[in-house]
């Protein structure tokens, strides 16, 4: 039993389960808007299971593909995928099991979800390899999480309305923007190991500018989401208020690179939760 508990802890550390907070709020935002309120316990369970299995799959592929890179990077050399706690076979099994769970959940939701399940997994798995040949890896990561709202609305309505595309695009540039800030930590390592990233290619100052531009696009797309979904004043507060949160995040990192973890995990975590809460309040008020 103790060994099983320790293994579970190792896998939790491998995929950083707590980071699911970035995508879950936006899945449920899409579901709340698509259903015009409460969407039911069944879809709540299916939504959580789909989100967790998809993220576990993506992180598993990432950690498997990056075993050689993580072993050389002092920041990541203590991860379970490189320090002997989890071998390659166990990680591959973890990836396979989560892929099957995701496809099975999609099957139980509706035919469109099933048709898109494998293409979504392909996108999720591709991020890990992009940095080996393209600095667009940050965008690919954004797209991976940006698929969450699309998945949410498909689960409820089996359609992809325009407002969900704007919500998704906002998530794409939100994630890409904060991933740029996070990747500043590995700028020198990426240069030395011929890994492609915007910081290693364009430097820290240009990276900060690009990140700020991406976050400006985030706010724009979220305002368009509110407009085209027909939401009310509280939803506009959520969209416009995100500009203040993202501006604070940018300021935090520009002032001190040691604050990158705080900006990445804490600030973005609160943003997602606050955005979801305000959308729910808007639906209740409406």
Quote the pLDDT of residue 152.
92
Q: How far is CA 62 from CA 52, 130, 226, in A?
A: 15, 11, 33
The answer to whether the CB of 256 falls within 8 A of the CB of 4 is no
How far, in Å, CA of 228 to CA of 143, rounded? 21
Quote the pLDDT of residue 261.
64
Q: Which of 214, 184, 211, 220 is nearest to 200 (CA)?
A: 184
Tokens of 134: 């393209």
Sign of CA dihedral 183, 260, 78, 191: positive
Mean pLDDT per segment of 10 residues, for the chain of length 286 residues?
68 66 85 92 91 90 84 78 81 93 95 92 86 84 91 93 96 93 83 82 90 96 96 94 91 72 71 93 81
| Interior angle at CA 77, CA 74 and CA 81, nearest 5 | 160
Quote the pLDDT of residue 134.
81
Quote the pLDDT of residue 254.
80
Model pTM score:
0.90
How far, in Å, CA of 236 to CA of 207, rounded? 29
- CATH of residue 240: 1.10.357.140
Residue 80 belongs to domain spanning: 2-285
Quote the pLDDT of residue 66.
81
How far, in Å, CA of 155 to CA of 30, rounded? 9
Q: Is 205 helix (H, G, I), strand (E, B) or coil?
A: helix
How far, in Å, CA of 152 to CA of 150, rounded? 5
Overall domain count for the chain = 1
């Amino acid at each position: 039993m103790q060994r099983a508990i320790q293994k579970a802890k190792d896998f939790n550390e491998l995929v950083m389960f707590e980071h699911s907070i970035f995508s879950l709020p936006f899945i449920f935002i899409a579901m709340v808007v698509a259903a015009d309120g409460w969407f039911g316990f069944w879809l709540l369970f299916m939504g959580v299971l789909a989100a967790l299995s998809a993220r576990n799959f993506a992180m598993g592929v990432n950690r498997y593909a990056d075993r050689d890179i993580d072993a050389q990077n002092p920041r990541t050399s203590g991860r379970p995928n490189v320090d002997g706690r989890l071998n390659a076979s166990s990680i591959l099994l973890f990836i396979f099991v989560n892929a099957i769970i995701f496809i099975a959940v999609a099957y139980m939701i509706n035919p469109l979800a099933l048709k898109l399940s494998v293409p979504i997994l392909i996108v999720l798995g591709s991020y890990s390899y992009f940095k080996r040949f393209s600095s667009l890896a940050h965008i690919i990561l954004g797209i991976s999480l940006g698929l969450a709202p699309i998945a949410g609305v498909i689960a409820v309505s089996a359609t992809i309305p325009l407002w969900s595309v704007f919500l998704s695009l906002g998530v794409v540039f939100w994630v890409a923007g904060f991933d740029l800030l996070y990747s500043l930590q590995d700028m020198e390592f990426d240069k030395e190991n011929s890994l492609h990233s915007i910081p290693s290619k364009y430097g820290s100052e240009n990276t900060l500018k690009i990140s700020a531009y991406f976050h400006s696009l985030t706010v724009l797309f979220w305002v368009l989401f509110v407009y085209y979904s027909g939401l009310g004043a509280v939803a506009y507060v959520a969209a416009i208020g995100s500009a203040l949160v993202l501006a604070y995040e940018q300021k935090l990192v520009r002032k001190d690179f040691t604050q990158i973890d705080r900006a990445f995990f804490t600030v973005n975590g609160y943003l997602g939760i606050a955005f979801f809460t305000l959308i729910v309040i808007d639906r209740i008020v409406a």
